[in-house]
């Protein structure tokens, strides 16, 4: 899909409108068609509300078809056959294109069990998740009944749609679909922000390999110039931030033990609100440190 | 060697005395012989002082022979040929019997470089070290000149002797050769010691595999019934303590996020004084924690 | 009363026994008389249990008489007329002999209101209280009905008796009537216990003047040689501990601002379990500090 | 003086320019006169630089006259006779119009000693100070020689001028003469900013009475809507921030002791950089708290 503006969508032909928004809902242009008739929209939020209202107002059969229009997660056959470009990019964002054998097997088992029970694919808004949290979500939802899962699937489809719409249409009232993960290092030995500390953010995985998702250095204010994760949902999951404080204090000629009592400090935590702002600061001396869920 | 008492050593025959203490200094019974004539000893410290004075008072040739009586570290050929039982147990304590290929290669390179430069084996009191800190010590000492290394080697030999003597002879005045590593968990959410928290201590290794060296559970006072490491030197090296705080707070029905912001908390630190008391406590709520070098 | 031993009390004449324990319960020797016949006692706890069982087994009239045998708190007329030596010392412990005019008036009002409502004096174990907490207790109990207040008064009388018995009779099984308030200063700038820090403990008062109850200096382990309060109940109330950390860091030539960001650090907290161990540590750098309810 | 703009000052008559800026330097219009000829100024900073350059370039005699044009601090006789309106307001800002007898005596002694030694008045930029820090500054400067004190006095006069100029002339490039004192309360029991906490800021005084300088309540972000002190220099001195955390946790039904272990928490600290940003946050549970010099 090509980026566009709300002004254009409000004024273009119905055909162009539908073409532009065809894949906001996977392979389901009827939703864009219904929305086209409600133009003009005062903002992106109003457009999104109109589209989700169409979904909510559709028949059970339509909603089930919408669900069935989605691919299985991490399905190699479908990948070969072709996902929408949107699905493809989304699945890659969660690392679903780089699964270890153990992970692939876990996803396949879950998918198969889910499809066997419900006769439709398991759907989740993968941009809000890590591989681990998708598997945890699978396990939480599998015991549900079909009605609950139809509702859950539609909910996830709307989340996917919101993110696709946010990427596609620029407007003055962005949908609240982005979160932020930030840090801050205070040197409580020197009483000042700790500048120049190397920071690494790793996404942890129980089944497969953990992977580095950000590497940066603190600036003169002890913060990072850019959020560790920002401008998108912060995927639910477990993370480890590592701070190279030994090198920092050594460079400042602070007296330390040999080897230094504290060198690389890991902070391990979970993200649980992808659209929230999670601030994980570090207060540190060569002999002590602390952290807290900040804001 | 069989455990004995100072009273027995003070009163037995010279031959028995020498036999009992023959391997306090590796393959060098002349040191025990010299000490035998200075009996009786008021305490184990006095006995140890007499033996080290003998070493210090010996000729350069004797000291060099003493150094050369020691095996190469982690040398597979010598292991096959036979170390003293004491050397064997000591090397195993540092995990030198379980080296990965990369570690083995690193040790062999270092050993070879050291022996080539000095024409005597690299000696270190391995009970005070981890594999990583032995390699770090190698690198620190290799640039030294021969005189400095003879002195360093004799120093290490005396540390080895002190530990062997401490194990062998029971007296009222133990040599100060033991250290202690302890922890304590305070639940600052509930304002009380955190009981029942699973704690794991891992010795970290840069080259090879890290290994768990203690697993325990906090008692009603938030402490562990036994020190994490005690009754021996705490090997110099890097460690990671992990505390399962998510399970603790969940069991107490404390409101938490899903997944919990904090679940398994790692504290990564180094030991630098094997004979000291290092206390590494954890102050924790579901949303914050801190640690410090305690006492 | 003169200090004695359980062995003596078990073997002396009934008259001596009663004489020795006459004032454990204020002006009520009948309780000691009943206990005398149950001798010997295996321990001080058993003796105390026998005496409180006598009180519990007495008639309502006896219990009311026991209550009425007690003086009004802080009553100047009764002070002139004469309290038992025990009552006198106990009231002084809480500072009831040094009341400001405002405090005296507050006590008198409360006393009068209580006596008017219940026709017996307000009784509280003053050794477990500060002036402020006595007034708070007054206000909490005044709305009660007579039955509840008879029970509350007997409860307080038994607490008073336990403390008197503990002071009077030495045995191997002390009654658990003592608490402890302690501190500990960790210098997390230097990574060691903070030795030589001046510490002052002040008991705070809302109505009258606050007063210093302990002044001490931390030892080489960052602790105080004696607990701040120990060997007695720690009176319920509000306290402020002050630590002169500016002088400490200045003496160690630590770089600080002028004036120092932190100089005298106050920790303000309340005691609520007079028989418990309350530990209030300070973790401090020139730029940060923290405290927690320790154990 | 009436507020004006740089544009007006650049374009008005010389007489008006001098009249507008006459009292930037106390009773010394010659400085404004010299500056008038250097118009136009690109910014307020350039204007200020021109005026201070005039002072620096003046003769010793002129500088001494400038110093002598200033009033004695806290001099009752001069107050009756009349200060410039600027001096009057500045002295009041530090509370010099509300001195206790002890404080007045201390100021008078210092003033007299200073004038006797140097034959000119003690000058300090009082808007950057509290009463306590003025007296500390007196004591620090009194031992200086005359040359050092002329330089120190001129330095203070320029600081006074900068603040007067900043108040008088609005421009796009404000002089960096303002500081900020802020706070932030994190509830680490609940893992969120602590909203609705009553906060009081008191300026402490050794000689006289401490006084409340700000009272506020934390907002939904745990911060205060306005800085505790802002838009002016933060006076050097000792302060105490008090946070009513007991009421906060009680309102949230958090289990606490009776009385609450923590109720009103005082943080006592000093300000040392009047033009800096000092952030003093509180991290708190009902059982622990901490603070640090933040940024």
Decide: helix, strand or coil at residue B241. Answer: strand
For residue D280, the number of C-alpha atoms closer than 13 Å in the C-beta half-sphere is 26
A120 to chain D, closest Cα gap in Å: 39
Q: Contact A188/D283, CB-based, under 8 Å?
A: no
Rounded CA-CA distance D226/D180 in Å is 10
D156 within a domain of the structure (yes/no):
yes
Rounded CA-CA distance A232/A234 in Å is 6
State the Cα angle at C118 between C116 and C123, rounded to 5°: 105
Please say whether the beta carbons of C153 and C100 come within 8 A: no
B124 to chain C, closest Cα gap in Å: 28
Q: Is pLDDT above 70 for A82?
A: no
Decide: helix, strand or coil at residue C226. Answer: coil
User: How sure is the predictor about D86, in pLDDT bands with cuts at 50, 70 and 90?
Assistant: confident
Low-confidence ranges of chain B (pLDDT < 50): none
C154 & C257 share domain: no
Phi, psi of B63 (to 5 degrees): -65, -40
Residue of chain D with shortest Cα separation from C265: D268
Q: Contact B261/D190, CB-based, under 8 Å?
A: no
What percentage of chain A has pLDDT greater than the value 70?
96
A295 within a domain of the structure (yes/no):
no
Rounded CA-CA distance A5/A168 in Å is 8
Single out the residue in B113, B143, B170 at which a domain terminates: B170
Phi, psi of C44 (to 5 degrees): -65, -35
What lies within 8 Å, CB to CB, of A207 at 6+ separation is A100, A102, A103, A106, A131, A132, A135
Residue of chain C with shortest Cα separation from A193: C287
B155 & B230 share domain: no
pLDDT value of residue A74: 65
A32 & A146 share domain: yes
Rounded CA-CA distance D122/D106 in Å is 14
Chains contacting B (3 or more CB pairs within 8 Å): A, C, D
Decide: helix, strand or coil at residue D92. Answer: helix
Q: Contact D285/B257, CB-based, under 8 Å?
A: no
Among residues A124, A108, A105, the alpha carbon closest in space to that of A116 is found at A108
A59 within a domain of the structure (yes/no):
yes
Q: Residue B290: its chain C contacts at CB < 8 A? A: 290
Q: How many CB pairs under 8 A join A and D?
A: 27
Report pLDDT digits (tens) over A34-65: 999 999 999 999 999 999 999 999 999 999 99
Rounded CA-CA distance D159/D151 in Å is 13
Chains contacting A (3 or more CB pairs within 8 Å): B, C, D
Please say whether the beta carbons of B203 and B239 come within 8 A: yes
User: How sure is the predictor about D185, in pLDDT bands with cuts at 50, 70 and 90?
Assistant: very high
Single out the residue in D147, D170, D193 at which a domain terminates: D170
Q: Is pLDDT above 70 for D153?
A: yes
B31 & B159 share domain: yes
DSSP, residue by residue, C73-123? TT-HHHHHH---HHHHHHHHHTTTTS--HHHHHHHHHHHHHHHHHHSS---
Rounded CA-CA distance D100/C198 in Å is 30
Strand partners, C278: C181
Chains contacting C (3 or more CB pairs within 8 Å): A, B, D
Phi, psi of A23 (to 5 degrees): -100, 10
pLDDT value of residue D80: 56
Q: Is pLDDT above 70 for D127?
A: yes
DSSP code of residue B24: T
Decide: helix, strand or coil at residue C32. Answer: helix
Please say whether the beta carbons of B241 and B210 come within 8 A: no
Q: Residue A283: its chain C contacts at CB < 8 A? A: 288
Q: Contact A288/B291, CB-based, under 8 Å?
A: yes
* Mutation site for C-interface testing, chosen from A190, A191, A261, A282 by largest number of C Cβ within 10 Å: A191
B183 & B166 share domain: no
Rounded CA-CA distance B50/B34 in Å is 9
Please say whether the beta carbons of A177 and A162 come within 8 A: yes
Phi, psi of B107 (to 5 degrees): -65, -45
D292 to chain C, closest Cα gap in Å: 4
Q: How many CB pairs under 8 A join A and B?
A: 75
Decide: helix, strand or coil at residue C201. Answer: strand
Block means of pLDDT (10 residues each) for chain C, length 295 residues? 88 95 90 94 95 94 93 66 72 73 85 94 94 92 96 96 93 90 98 98 89 96 97 96 98 96 98 97 98 93
Q: Is pLDDT above 60 for D52?
A: yes
Q: How much is the pTM?
A: 0.94
Q: Contact A186/D290, CB-based, under 8 Å?
A: no
Rounded CA-CA distance C17/C3 in Å is 12
Rounded CA-CA distance D64/D121 in Å is 10
Q: Residue C189: its chain A contacts at CB < 8 A? A: 189, 285, 287
Rounded CA-CA distance C191/C210 in Å is 34
Q: Is pLDDT above 60 for D122?
A: yes
Q: Residue A295: its chain D contacts at CB < 8 A? A: 186, 192-193, 221-222
Please say whether the beta carbons of B291 and A290 come within 8 A: yes
Q: Contact D295/A188, CB-based, under 8 Å?
A: no
B196 & B71 share domain: no
B111 within a domain of the structure (yes/no):
yes
C112 to chain D, closest Cα gap in Å: 25
pLDDT value of residue D74: 65
Range of the domain at C53: 4-170
With residue B181 as reference, give the H or E element that holds it. Answer: strand B179-187
Among residues A253, A5, A240, the alpha carbon closest in space to that of A130 is found at A240
Q: Contact D221/A293, CB-based, under 8 Å?
A: no
User: How sure is the predictor about D75, in pLDDT bands with cuts at 50, 70 and 90?
Assistant: low
DSSP code of residue D70: S
Q: Are strands C4-5 and B198-203 parallel, antiparallel or unpaired?
A: unpaired
What lies within 8 Å, CB to CB, of B2 at 6+ separation is B20, B168
What lies within 8 Å, CB to CB, of A90 at 6+ separation is A125, A126, A127, A160, A163
DSSP code of residue D223: B
C253 to chain A, closest Cα gap in Å: 13
C13 & C85 share domain: yes
DSSP, residue by residue, A31-80? HHHHHHTT---SSHHHHHHHHHHHHHHS-HHHHHHHHHTSPPTT-HHHHH
* Domain count across chain D: 2
What lies within 8 Å, CB to CB, of C223 at 6+ separation is C182, C183, C184, C193
A211 & A161 share domain: no
A148 & A274 share domain: no
A147 & A213 share domain: no
What lies within 8 Å, CB to CB, of C13 at 6+ separation is none
For B288, the closest of A264, A272, A292 (CB atoms) is A292
User: How sure is the predictor about D76, in pLDDT bands with cuts at 50, 70 and 90?
Assistant: low
Decide: helix, strand or coil at residue C194. Answer: coil
For residue B78, the number of C-alpha atoms closer than 13 Å in the C-beta half-sphere is 18
DSSP code of residue A200: E
For D288, the closest of B188, B257, B286 (CB atoms) is B188
B295 within a domain of the structure (yes/no):
no
Rounded CA-CA distance A85/B14 in Å is 89
The enclosing domain of A238 has a CATH number of: 2.60.40.180
State the Cα angle at B51 between B50 and B53, rounded to 5°: 65
C121 & C228 share domain: no
Question: What's the gap between Cα B153 and its chain centre?
Answer: 17
Chains contacting D (3 or more CB pairs within 8 Å): A, B, C
- Helices A146-168, A85-93: axis angle to 10 degrees equals 100
Q: Which residue has the higher pLDDT, D110 or C274?
A: C274
Among residues A269, A246, A266, the alpha carbon closest in space to that of A187 is found at A246
Please say whether the beta carbons of A6 and A171 come within 8 A: yes
Among residues D44, D11, D17, the alpha carbon closest in space to that of D29 is found at D17
A226 within a domain of the structure (yes/no):
yes
Single out the residue in B170, B191, B219 at which a domain terminates: B170
D295 within a domain of the structure (yes/no):
no
Please say whether the beta carbons of D17 and D9 come within 8 A: yes
A190 & A160 share domain: no
For B191, the closest of D188, D286, D290 (CB atoms) is D286
Rounded CA-CA distance B279/A275 in Å is 39
Q: How many CB atoms lie within 10 A of CB C72?
A: 19
Burial-class residue D1 by CB neighbours within 10 Å (0-12, 13-18, 19+).
middle
For D222, the closest of A192, A193, A295 (CB atoms) is A295
B36 within a domain of the structure (yes/no):
yes
Q: Contact A287/C257, CB-based, under 8 Å?
A: no
The enclosing domain of A147 has a CATH number of: 1.10.3330.10
Rounded CA-CA distance B45/C266 in Å is 47
pLDDT value of residue A124: 93
Query: If interface means Cβ-Cβ distance under 8 Å, which residues of chain A face chain D?
Result: 186, 188, 191-193, 221-222, 283, 290, 292-295
DSSP, residue by residue, A234-282? --BEEEEEEEEHHHHHHHTT----SS-S-SEEEEEEEE--TTSEEEEEE
Rounded CA-CA distance D46/D30 in Å is 18
Q: Is pLDDT above 80 for D73?
A: no
pLDDT value of residue B75: 67
pLDDT value of residue D81: 61
ipTM reported for the complex, 2 dp: 0.93
Q: Contact B292/A292, CB-based, under 8 Å?
A: no
pLDDT value of residue B80: 55
Q: Residue C290: its chain B contacts at CB < 8 A? A: 290
Q: Which residue has the higher pLDDT, A125 or D93?
A: A125
D82 to chain B, closest Cα gap in Å: 58
State the Cα angle at D230 between D228 and D232, rounded to 5°: 135
Q: What is the largest CA-CA distance in chain D?
A: 72
What are the start-end ranges of the E strands in chain D?
Answer: 4-5, 169-170, 179-182, 185-187, 192-193, 198-203, 211-217, 229-232, 237-244, 264-271, 277-279, 282-285, 288-292
Q: Are strands C169-170 and C179-187 parallel, antiparallel or unpaired?
A: unpaired
Q: How many CB pairs under 8 A join B and D?
A: 30
């Amino acid at each position: 899909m090509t980026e566009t503006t709300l002004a254009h969508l409000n004024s273009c032909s119905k055909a162009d409108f539908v073409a532009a928004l065809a894949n906001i809902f996977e392979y389901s242009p009827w939703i864009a068609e219904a929305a086209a008739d409600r133009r003009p929209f005062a903002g992106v939020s109003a457009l999104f509300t109109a589209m989700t209202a169409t979904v909510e107002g559709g028949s059970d059969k339509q909603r089930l078809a919408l669900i069935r229009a989605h691919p299985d997660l991490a399905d190699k056959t479908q990948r070969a056959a072709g996902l929408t470009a949107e699905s493809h990019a989304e699945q890659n964002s969660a690392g679903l294109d780089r699964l270890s054998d153990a992970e692939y097997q876990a996803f396949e088992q879950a998918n198969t069990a889910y499809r066997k029970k419900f006769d439709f694919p398991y759907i989740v808004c993968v941009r809000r998740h890590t591989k681990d949290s998708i598997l945890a979500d699978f396990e939480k939802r599998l015991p549900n009944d079909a009605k609950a899962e139809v509702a859950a699937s539609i909910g996830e489809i709307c989340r996917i749609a919101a993110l696709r719409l946010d990427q596609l249409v620029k407007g003055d009232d962005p949908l609240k679909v982005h979160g932020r993960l930030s840090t801050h290092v205070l040197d409580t030995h020197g009483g000042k922000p700790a500048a120049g500390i190397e920071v690494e953010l790793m996404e942890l995985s129980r089944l497969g390999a953990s992977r580095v998702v950000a590497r940066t250095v603190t600036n003169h204010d002890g913060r990072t110039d850019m959020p560790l994760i920002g401008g998108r949902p912060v995927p639910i999951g477990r993370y480890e931030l590592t701070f190279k404080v030994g090198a920092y204090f050594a460079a400042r000629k602070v007296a330390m033990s040999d080897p230094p009592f504290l060198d690389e400090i890991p902070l391990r935590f979970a993200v649980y609100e992808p659209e929230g702002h999670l601030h994980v600061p570090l207060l540190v001396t060569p002999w002590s440190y602390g952290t807290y869920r900040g804001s």
